[in-house]
Amino acid sequence: MENNRIEVNVDLDMSVFQAGEMTHTKISEPGKFTRMGNAIYLQFNESMDHDDHASILVKITENGDIHLKREAKSTNLASMLYFTNQDRNAASVYTEYGVMQMNTYTKDSLVEITDEPLHGKINIDYDLIYDNNIVGNYKFRLIFSV
């Protein structure tokens, strides 16, 4: 399976508590799973309004850290978030007005992947922090399978 791209089905459930309001987003999309060296990559698109989409790339490093990149070219919005279980990491949110430097604090993370048949789960509970203030609490639940 080394360096091979495998077609998978991706189900993502995201809960966000921000400014006193809870929102939920559910995504079911086809995606691609790739192993390169000791890293794992999961790539898929998030369908948006007006036949548009955002590209999402999830990377799981050899030591279990998770990198999450989301880019929506039509809206000029992108983010690069890093997660280390029970630790704080730098994050960048790119807008049409410039780059906002933020932090994530990963309260809990879990990665489980089995090969026969290929199936996986990635859970991340985190806070998004700007200027030492928590701007949102997030629950990221992703399941993929062939």
- Alpha-carbon gap, residue 35 to 57, rounded angstroms: 13
b/e per residue 91-104 (b: at least 16 CB within 10 A)? bebeeeeeeeebbb
Q: Number of folded domains in the chain? A: 1
* Number of residues in the chain: 146
Domain that includes residue 89, residue range: 5-132+140-145
DSSP string, 60-91: E-TTS-EEEEEEEGGGTEEEEEEE-TTSEEEE
3-state SS assignment for residue 98: strand
Task: For residue range 34-86, list pLDDT tens digits in order.
Answer: 999 999 999 999 887 766 789 999 999 999 999 999 999 878 889 999 999 99
Instruction: Name the DSSP class of 87.
Output: S
CATH code: domain of residue 122: 2.40.128.20
What is the structure's pLDDT at 71? 94
**Model confidence at 1: pLDDT above 50:** no
Per-residue pLDDT band at 3 (split at 50, 70, 90): low
pTM of the predicted protein model: 0.90
Task: For residue range 17-43, list pLDDT tens digits in order.
Answer: 998 999 999 999 999 999 999 999 999
